[in-house]
Structure 1
Amino acid sequence: MQAFELDLRLARDTTTIGRLGLCELRLMNDRRWPWLILVPQRNDITEFHDLTPLDQTMLTFETGLVSKALKSLTKADKINIGSLGNIVPMFHLHIVARHDGDPNWPGPVWGHGTVERYEADVSDRFVADIRQVVLPV
């Protein structure tokens, strides 16, 4: 079996939080929204239906786990979940915490404005908070 290789654009634009059963959990480096990404650790998968039924079930479970934790941690008004893949074809799932009045509310986050990168200490703190809720020791 070939080792999992993360798409270089995902690696460049995100920070590793940790690994779940199926997915690598990552933080999008854009501080305008608390934005997590689940990437199934499977090569050559571009669509949800390309996953095996068992992987689809695991992804659904992990999506629920992460989205519930993100909503609780951020006190979000709404959690947006989506998979586009038009630019990065490797299958990945976006989980974004939205608040009434955030940039482009109630519109989508994709393609809106200019990325605002996290300061390292803020990113590190958020990653640690997510790990504590989603990946307890």
Structure 2
Amino acid sequence: MAFVLDPRLEADSLAAADMGLCHVRVMADARYPWLIAVPRIAGAVELFDLPLRDSQQVWDEVQALARLVGRQPGIMKVNIGALGNIVRQLHIHIVGRHQHDPAWPGPVWGHSPAQAYEPGGAEALIHQVQALARRQQEKQ
């Protein structure tokens, strides 16, 4: 069985880069620097579904992405979560938060409708993710 991205994840986000194991996307909500990391492992639903080696690589990639999100202007806290209640395919949310964001201090999931990026508005974050992916690949 080959890896196929869930259509809901594809519809709600923009492709950014492929890291060693994760496909990385920017959520289509301009209010937050919000990434999702989707391990390219067919059938994975839970983190504990992954072999230990893959689990460690996913965590290393998520940590690198979280550091990137945490460096975005104004970010006070980075939320990381793998919920999967609506989309079962394993994916990890990495969301930059600050005390003036619309959902603060509660969760962003289901808080309010997404606010679309202006044309080209997500490009800076996408380019940062692409640069990170290149640096990660050069280390290997």
How much has 1:33 moved relative to structure 2?
0.9
Q: Which runs of 5+ in 2 are unaligned?
A: none
Q: Which residue does 2:71 correspond to in 1?
A: 72
Deviations 1:7-45 (A, max 9, x none): 010111111110111100110001111100000001111
Q: Percent identity?
A: 38
Distance in 2, Cα, partners of 1:85 & 1:62? 19
Which residue of the partner structure matches residue 9 of structure 2? Answer: 10
Q: CA shift at 1:128, angstroms?
A: 1.5
Letter of the 1:52 counterpart = P
User: Which amino acid is 1:111 matched to?
Assistant: G
| Cα distance in 2 for residues equivalent to 1:134 and 1:103 | 30
What is the deviation of 1:118?
0.9
Q: Is the 8 A contact 2:17 2:133 kept in 1?
A: no
SS at match of 2:122: helix
Structure 1 gaps, min length 5 = none
Q: Which deviates the most, 84-93 or 3-12?
A: 3-12
Corresponding residue SS for 1:32? coil
2:44–2:90: 8 Å Cα contact kept in structure 1? Answer: yes
Distance change >3 Å, CA 51–CA 74, structure 1 → 2: farther
Range with bigger deviation, 5-14 or 68-77: 68-77
* Matches of 2:3 and 2:110, distance apart in 1: 28
Stretch moving more, 108-117 or 70-79: 70-79
Instruction: Give the 3 Å change call, closer, same or farther, for CA 20–69 of structure 1 in structure 2.
Output: same
Q: Paired residue for 1:110?
A: 109
Q: Runs ≥4 in structure 1, deviation > 3 angstroms?
A: 133-137
Residue in structure 2 matched with residue 82 of structure 1 by the alignment: 81
Match in the other structure for 1:24: 23
Counterpart in the other structure of 2:38:
39
Distance in 1 (alpha carbons) for counterparts of 2:63 and 2:11? 26
Cα distance, 1:130 vs. partner? 3.0
Give yes or no for contact 1:66–1:134 (8 Å, CA) kept in 2.
Answer: no
Query: Cα offset for 1:131?
Result: 2.2
Distance 2:76 2:114 in 1: 22
Q: How many residue pairs are counted as aligned between the two chains?
A: 136
